[in-house]
Amino acid sequence: MSTNTEFPGPVKWVDDRLGIAKIGKKNLRKVFPDHWSFMLGEIALYSFIILILTGTFLTFWFKPSMAEVEYQGSYSLLKGLHMSEAYASTLDITFDVRGGLLMRQIHHWAAVLFIAAMMVHLLRMFFTGAFRKPRELNWLIGFGMLFLGIIEGFLGYGLPDDLLSGTGLRITNGMIQASPVVGTYMNFFIFGGEFPGDDFVARFFIVHVLLIPGIILALVTAHLFLVVYHKHTQYAGPGRTQKNVVGYPLFPVYTAKAGGFFFVVFGITALMGALMQINPVWLYGPYNPAEVTAGAQPDWYMGWLEGSVRIFPGFESHFWGITLSWNLIIPALIVPPAFVTLVALYPFIEGWITGDKREHHLLDRPRDVPTRTGIGVAFITFYAMLWIGGGNDLIATHFNLSLNHVTWFLRFAVILGPILGFWIARRWAISLQRADQERLLHGLETGVIMRSPEGKYTEKHQPISTYEAYSITARDRLVPHEIGPETDENGVRAPRRALHKARAALSRFYYADAVQKPTTQEIEEAHEHAHDADEIHELTEDTETYREVTSDRS
């Protein structure tokens, strides 16, 4: 094969202007490691693209207006009814634009998937410690996208102006109104006066189709740029170190796989849009502030906020001519933002506790950092309890329980559940670590029983492969942060001693009970001991025959 030093015509035209060879050289064969858990972010990205495509289709017919019209479309059950143009045009998209219902349903399913994928992606980051230096910024960017995605979905849900979406807005309006001092003002500015008014659809629309997608797009770009710049993390394994990245080249394998995966995700959302009904707004009717549908449920990602206000006991204070609605201030305005902030800042909290300032490109297995894993499970449990609270009525009716009991149970579970979850997950991780250690030091149980000349019975163990042994041990030694000497060489007391002490204590707690990987010496000792006791043997033909004898006997 001869090497070309010149591009063919059209490519040359581009290169003369852009110098594509310079950019391409570095990136065309860029390496991406392969693992199923790395696809979660891709799903989020692809559903965002699907949202832009289907959303743009919808904008061609959707009329973001609350002007009242009489419906004259082809859905006979609502014919002649007064409704907003927004709702009427949503009905038109559904019944009179061919493929309109399909696009609406794909749009909605992709929205649900978008947020779900981002959340699971975030959990993957959390449990593998992918957020550690140098990737803290990408963690925050990801959080920003998740936050905006949820707001975006909520605004979209409000656009059709059907009974369900109006009810959701009414609830939000009531929550905003509970904010001390500024509540009523915020509401009047957002809704252009009293609820519902005739402004919000037009306002929400422009935020929904331009402002937030624009910001998300910018964040996606930054996010992907950083992934390329830092290079992808990888799981530890033979030949996969902190200093390299092993995987398939961008061109062709990764392009084919990732590109193909885009079509798979699009195909699946299209099939869902074709076959699975979602948000059948025509069944709900136009918004009417004096009506509500029973058992109304918001999209799944709003469930935890809903649950939070559902299970909080109702009390408010009245004094000095003001009202403080604790039943909303705490569960809607304090708890969710505080929880989100805590999770968002977790990388910095963990970094401070462990004092770890090094770069990490190898992912942790969740079991290898039991405390972090426990904290993650506590976060999930907290979220899950609130989420279940969002459906407390469904649970009560389905399982024939009293709503009162379900609510009281959840009030406790939301606090005790995370503690229990933390403890169980941490213990579980530690026992998995012990099992690993066991495999490493004593090999695999073969089920073969040996009798020594003295008549002692032992089980034969087979050592695991060097590759596996390396993978198990390719992780950090966990060393708690130390406070250092009380005074420095010059006898000056170290400043902020109490803080450092607290930090050291936290750090000890963080690493407490985690199984330390063995040292070279420990491994050698274990193997020698095994040989003495005849525990570890390569399985030879002899042992095979022996196995038959033993299994006959048993």
Query: Which residues in this chain contact ligand HEM in the complex, by CB under 6 A?
Result: 48, 51-52, 55-56, 58-59, 62, 90, 93, 104, 107-108, 111, 114, 149, 152-153, 156-157, 159-160, 208-209, 213, 216, 279
Residue 237 dihedral angles phi and psi, to the nearest 5°: 180, 170
How far CA 522 is from CA of 219, 442, 450, 471, 528, in Å, comes to 48, 11, 25, 17, 10
How far CA 16 is from CA of 3, 27, 246, in Å, comes to 19, 19, 33
Bridge partners (DSSP) of residue 69 are 83
Residue list 473-512, contact with other proteins (CB under 8 A): 473-477, 479, 481-482, 484
Q: Is 460 an interacting residue with respect to other proteins (CB under 8 A)? A: no
Neighbour tally for 113: CB within 10 Å: 21
Where does 14-71 show beta strands of DSSP type E?
A: 31-32, 68-70
- Distance from C-alpha of 102 to C-alpha of 274, rounded to nearest angstrom: 6
384 binds, among other proteins, ligand HEM, none (CB under 5 to 8 A by kind): none
Q: Is 516 an interacting residue with respect to other proteins (CB under 8 A)? A: no
How far CA 269 is from CA of 171, 249, 272, 301, 406, in Å, comes to 30, 28, 5, 18, 35
Minimum separation from the CB atom of position 466 to ligand HEM (A):
48
Neighbour tally for 465: CB within 10 Å: 10
Give 537's Cβ-side CA count (13 Å radius).
19
Residue choice 294, 457, 495, 498 for contact with other proteins (CB under 8 A): 294
Taking CB under 8 A as the rule, which mask of x and - marks residues 153-192 in contact with other proteins?
--------------x--xx-xxx-xxxxxxxxx-xxxxxx
Bridge partners (DSSP) of residue 84 are 68
Stretch that binds other proteins, among 56-64, 112-120, 292-300, 530-538 (CB under 8 A): 292-300
Are 265 and 94 spatial neighbours (Cβ–Cβ below 8 Å)?
Answer: no
Neighbour tally for 455: CB within 10 Å: 6
Are 364 and 345 spatial neighbours (Cβ–Cβ below 8 Å)?
Answer: no
Residue choice 124, 372, 517, 537 for contact with other proteins (CB under 8 A): 517
422 binds, among ligand HEM, other proteins, none (CB under 5 to 8 A by kind): none
Q: Is 336 an interacting residue with respect to other proteins (CB under 8 A)? A: no
Residue choice 215, 268, 424, 449 for contact with other proteins (CB under 8 A): 268
371 binds, among other proteins, ligand HEM, none (CB under 5 to 8 A by kind): none
Residue list 386-405, contact with other proteins (CB under 8 A): 392-393, 403-404
Smaller CB separation from ligand HEM, 107 or 240: 107
Taking CB under 8 A as the rule, which mask of x and - marks residues 423-452 in contact with other proteins?
------------------------------
184 binds, among ligand HEM, other proteins, none (CB under 5 to 8 A by kind): other proteins
Q: Is 470 an interacting residue with respect to other proteins (CB under 8 A)? A: yes
Minimum separation from the CB atom of position 203 to ligand HEM (A):
14
Token duo for residue 72: 């004259």
Q: Is 218 an interacting residue with respect to other proteins (CB under 8 A)? A: no
